[in-house]
Amino acid sequence: MIALNQTGYLPAAEKKAVLTKGKSFWVLDADNRAVLEKEASWFGFDEASGDEVAIADFSEIRSPGRYRLRDENGEESCTFEISERIYRALQKDLQKAFYYQRCGCALAEQYAGVYTHPACHTEKALLWEDNGVAKEVSGGWHDAGDYGRYISPAAVAVAHLLYAFKLFPESFGESVNIPESGNGVPDILNECRYELEWMLKMQREDGGVYHKLTSAMHADFVMPQEDTSPFYIFPVSSMATADYAACMALAAGVYRAYDEAFADRLLRAAVSAWGWLEAHPEYVGFHNPSNCNTGEYDDDCDRDERLWAAAELYLETGEETYQKALEALGREPLGKTDFGWTDVSGLASMAVLAADYLQTAKKAIPEKLLKDFREAVLAEAGRLVKQSESCGYLVAMAPGDYVWGSNMVVLNRGMLLALAALLTGGEEKALYERVALRQLHYLLGTNAAGYSYVTGYGENACRHPHNRPTECDGIELPMPGWVSGGPFRTPCDETAVRSIPQGTPPMKCYLDHAMCYSLNEITIYWNSPAVFLTAYFNRS
């Protein structure tokens, strides 16, 4: 196999393919002419894939065009492109995917093309703790291939998108053709508002935020409008409340330039959630009741969520209470480099470092904090550079990192490297950018499974994501722009367990099968870091 980025490369970027058989290779242009003949350099055994590999460096090919690689055994790669605009359409489709997740409204043909459907899940939902109480909580995005809506993953996905917009506004100028397009507000903010309006409905009078809104059991494979099972509002958790506080404070700052009244509502919601957290300093967790099997998003620690909330509230208000909380939580032993829903302490770093970079904090950020966050991010970036060098496919992943939704780990690491690049200059910056791009190259095909993990992107892109509408709509191809969860070293869905032999190397534990929810699902928070990463590289 010749694995490479099946979408393609920026002209000036590093370009490396991975060969599992050959060593000599040719780069062929669209007219089949060899434009480069070279030897790949031997890497040897790669643990995560179990492959013996050689790395073909063809970075010197810079002219825009379509190409493919061939090795001395006649093996050929997928066709790819070199272009200054190579990740533009990709970013737009990654963003558009959120529109397709909209719940509670019809997806009209004008925006959804063939993927239209009538409004879904418009009935009131019942409080799990008291079925006599019904509330109007429609809206928001379906979380994933299921129809649930969960606060923590929602807050994290919105935050990724808003940080991307804050840091790289120039990458969000184009319309993605959604109902609000052309209203004078960038579409990324129009889309996030759809989720934020729903989140606002999920807060209780006392400031606490409900953990999730789902049916008791996952829906069968039916279109969303056909899922008429009752929806329940599950109890408040401290994790959901803190994630919510952080996201709302961040959003208040972003939307203020467009809609003052909306920004005020967001900030009030954030402050009230913080009030609940102060009244409940102890951890309030969430576990599924025994008669419920929808997503749990359980997390045994809420200190990182509180840290992120304190950071965003301080940056947005400049108030002393939040500064004190931020300083105290900042001294706790938290990683400060993770961007996923379990550990959001990296989002506190993102918040503080972005505000410092953009000079948007209401009051000065304490020097010590700034230094700690910066050091944590740069130390992790350095570690990831080494990790990438020790992988035959150049992705910054150790064999043990192939967890459920491993592509999120890949992308969150790409995000961290992009942030590190933003904070540095010269050689160091160039190095972080190079390694950040390698995460995208892996996602789009430079991997041992040989797949591009984004639907619609690449000759061998996944086509059967675990997504209810995709399975039920009778349309052959899924909508483009969905990131699949990717390889999982210990897959746990029935189809995968039956089909993937024990001992398969982690990077190859993947199947493009609609029933493989532990390998091939889609989620809002697997697409959001991909938007961040592509937006970084679409700045000019």
Residues in touch with Zn ion (CB under 5 A): 103, 120-121, 224
Give the type of residue at 98.
Answer: F
Touching ligand 9MR, residues 287-326 (CB under 6 A): 295-296
Question: Residue 201 in 3-state DSSP?
Answer: helix
Q: Which of 16/212 has CB closer to ligand 9MR?
A: 212
Q: Is 170 among the catalytic positions? A: no
Exposure on the CB side of residue 108, measured as CA atoms within 13 A = 6
Which residue of the chain is nearest Zn ion when measured via CB?
A: 103
Catalytic, out of 71, 356, 466, 493: 466
Per CB under 6 A, 143 contacts ligand 9MR:
yes
Which spans in 63-171 are helix H? 88-100, 109-112, 151-167
Contact between 469 and 502 (Cβ < 8 Å): no
Per CB under 6 A, 14 contacts ligand 9MR:
no
CB of 145 to Zn ion, least distance (A): 13
**Location of structure tokens 């024990």:** 502
Query: Which two three-digit tokens encode residue 30?
Result: 């669209």
Catalytic, out of 93, 146, 187, 380: 146
CB of 488 to ligand 9MR, least distance (A): 9
Q: Which of 294/447 has CB closer to ligand 9MR?
A: 294
CB of 298 to ligand 9MR, least distance (A): 8
Contact between 247 and 199 (Cβ < 8 Å): yes
CB of 381 to ligand 9MR, least distance (A): 23
Which of the listed partners (Zn ion, ligand 9MR, none) does 120 bind, with a CB threshold of 5 to 8 Å by partner kind?
Answer: Zn ion
Q: Which of 71, 146, 195, 305 binds ligand 9MR (CB under 6 A)?
A: 146
CB of 354 to Zn ion, least distance (A): 32
Contact between 19 and 71 (Cβ < 8 Å): yes
Which of the listed partners (Zn ion, ligand 9MR, none) does 103 bind, with a CB threshold of 5 to 8 Å by partner kind?
Answer: Zn ion
Structural Rg of the chain based on CA atoms: 23
User: Please, what is the Cα angle at 516 between 500 and 17, to 5 degrees?
Assistant: 65
Q: Which of 276, 322, 404, 482 binds ligand 9MR (CB under 6 A)?
A: 404
Per CB under 6 A, 486 contacts ligand 9MR:
no
Contact between 18 and 446 (Cβ < 8 Å): yes
Q: Which of 140, 405, 414, 506 binds ligand 9MR (CB under 6 A)?
A: 405
Contact between 503 and 513 (Cβ < 8 Å): no
Site string for ligand 9MR, 504-533 (x = CB under 6 A): -------------x---x-x----------
Number of helices followed by number of strands (H, E) in the chain: 15, 14
Per CB under 6 A, 141 contacts ligand 9MR:
no
Cross-sheet strand order for the sheet of 16-19: 2-3, 16-19, 51-57, 41-46
Q: Is 302 among the catalytic positions? A: no
Sign for the pseudo-dihedral over CA of 456, 459, 461, 464? positive
Site string for ligand 9MR, 83-122 (x = CB under 6 A): ----------------------------------------
CB of 214 to ligand 9MR, least distance (A): 8
Which spans in 390-467 are helix H? 406-423, 426-443
CB of 405 to ligand 9MR, least distance (A): 4
Cα torsion 223, 228, 229, 234 to 10°: value is 90
Q: Is 300 among the catalytic positions? A: no
The conformational region for residue 297 under phi > 0 = left, psi -120 to 50 = alpha, else beta, is left
Interface region with ligand 9MR, contact rule CB under 6 A, candidates 140-148, 158-166, 249-257, 284-292 = 140-148
CB of 380 to Zn ion, least distance (A): 37
Q: Which of 165/341 has CB closer to ligand 9MR?
A: 341
Eight-class DSSP state of 478: P
Contact between 240 and 344 (Cβ < 8 Å): no
**Location of structure tokens 């430079």:** 446
Q: Which of 143/338 has CB closer to Zn ion?
A: 143
Q: Is 521 among the catalytic positions? A: yes
Q: Which of 148/529 has CB closer to ligand 9MR?
A: 148
Contact between 236 and 210 (Cβ < 8 Å): yes
Q: Which residues pair with 253 in a beta bridge?
A: none
Give the active site residues: 146, 466, 512, 521
Applying CB under 6 A, the residues found at the interface with ligand 9MR are 143-144, 146, 148, 295-296, 404-405, 517, 521, 523
